[in-house]
Amino acid sequence: MQVVRELDVVKEIIRDLKNKGMTVGFVPTMGFLHEGHLSLVRTAKSENDFVVISIFVNPLQFGVGEDFERYPRDLERDRELADSAGCDLIFVPAAKDMYPPGYATFVDVDRLTEGLCGASRPGHFRGVTTVVAKLFNLVSPHKAYFGQKDAQQALVLKKMVQDLNMDLDLFILPTVREADGLAMSSRNKYLNSGEREEAPVLYKSLLLARELVARGERDPLIIGKNMEDLICSARGAVVDYLEIVDTEELKPLKSIKGRCLVAVAVKFGTTRLIDNIFVEV
Ligand code: AMP
């Protein structure tokens, strides 16, 4: 497995592979890999000849006062995990190469980015779509893999690929969870032991929503109130948002119908966790 930092080198390697008729799968990440990332890599490996992971903590997608500086970074650890999952190349660009002085081009997806994490983190998705568009141009994969854990991000990127006629297929794979239901995330590392104990309440609240719907409840306000009560019973938990939206436009629903996305963001101290599930009637 190679580790490549230079932008033109990665382009050249991929060009050569494609000239030989090989297919390329791509998993963009911010590193500090866990089983959620590795599940994407394994699927990519099963569907492509060559798999690239990018590791880039993208300054553009972090707001002022967010965790850009303290975001966990450990390339040695990532290298071993990526290798064990079948990755062929880790691309680790430097911020100064991705955004050299005078950099001026950004990608924005309208509407889908307004609610949920877009409302709590202004400018976040502009950073995500810009960096992923750049990474797609550098790696030019046949297939790219993203996690359902970041449901809004995955939908926004799908829209970008569609609207900009990008020549690749984008796949969204299921959320990988810890044994107690907590969605795996590099940010879980920030949690102290008390917070870690309480953190599964996000998933519990989503399961509660599913159970209420199964019992016939169709009012998002009532479901939301039950979820909120449960989350607030966890020590230190502060709800950032809690929404039931449609799966295409991500607009809040007035009543539960068809396939819906239940999404939550909860803060424990300075750590913000997100999770979601689908419910269907
Ligand atoms: P990140 O490094 O957090 O930017 O995540 C990189 C990719 O891994 C994104 O497509 C995420 O949605 C995906 N991912 C993160 N956590 C999980 C998880 N628990 N299960 C599945 N995919 C995940």
| 281 is a domain residue | no
- Per the structure, the count of domains in the chain is 2
Residue 158 pLDDT = 98
| 178 is a domain residue | no
Q: Please state, in angstroms and as integers, the Cα–Cα distance from residue 29 to each residue in 96, 124, 146, 179, following that order.
A: 18, 15, 9, 23
Is residue 89 within 8 Å of residue 2, measured between CB atoms? yes
Q: Which of 83, 90, 71, 79 is nearest to 6 (CA)?
A: 90
What's the gap in Å between 153 CA and the centre of ligand 1?
A: 10
Q: Which of 247, 266, 242, 243 is nearest to 257 (CA)?
A: 247
What's the gap in Å between 208 CA and the centre of ligand 1?
A: 24
Is 115 found in the same domain as 17? yes
> Does 37 contact ligand 1 (Cβ within 6 A)?
yes
- Answering whether pTM is above 0.85, one says yes
| 63 is a domain residue | yes
> Does 113 contact ligand 1 (Cβ within 6 A)?
no
**CATH code at position 230:** 3.30.1300.10
For the CA of 184, the closest atom of ligand 1 is 19
The whole-number mean pLDDT for each consecutive block of 10 residues of the chain, a chain of 281 residues, reads 98 98 98 98 98 98 97 98 98 98 98 98 98 98 98 98 98 98 98 98 98 98 98 98 98 97 97 98 95
Residue 7 pLDDT = 98
The range of the structural domain enclosing residue 149 comes to 2-173
> Does 184 contact ligand 1 (Cβ within 6 A)?
yes
188-218 in b/e form (b: 16+ CB < 10 A) is bebbeeebbebbbbbbbbbbbbeebbeeeee
Residue 173 pLDDT = 98
Q: Please state, in angstroms and as integers, the Cα–Cα distance from residue 88 to each residue in 34, 85, 215, 246, following that order.
A: 17, 9, 47, 37
Q: Does the annotation mark 142 as catalytic?
A: no
**Probe ligand 1: pick from 29, 37, 87, 157, max atoms within 8 Å of CB?**
37
Is 217 found in the same domain as 88? no
Cα dihedral angle (29, 30, 35, 36), rounded to 10 degrees?
-60
> Does 152 contact ligand 1 (Cβ within 6 A)?
no
H helices of the chain, where? 7-19, 35-47, 75-84, 95-98, 116-120, 124-139, 151-163, 193-198, 201-214, 220-232
**Probe ligand 1: pick from 149, 161, 185, max atoms within 8 Å of CB?**
149
| 158 is a domain residue | yes
| 201 is a domain residue | yes
Residue 179 pLDDT = 98
**CATH code at position 76:** 3.40.50.620
Is 108 found in the same domain as 24? yes
Query: What is the C-alpha separation between 66 and 60, in angstroms, rounded?
Result: 11
What's the gap in Å between 102 CA and the centre of ligand 1?
A: 31
156 three-state secondary structure: helix
Residue 191 pLDDT = 98
The first and second tokens of residue 156, run together, are 């926004």
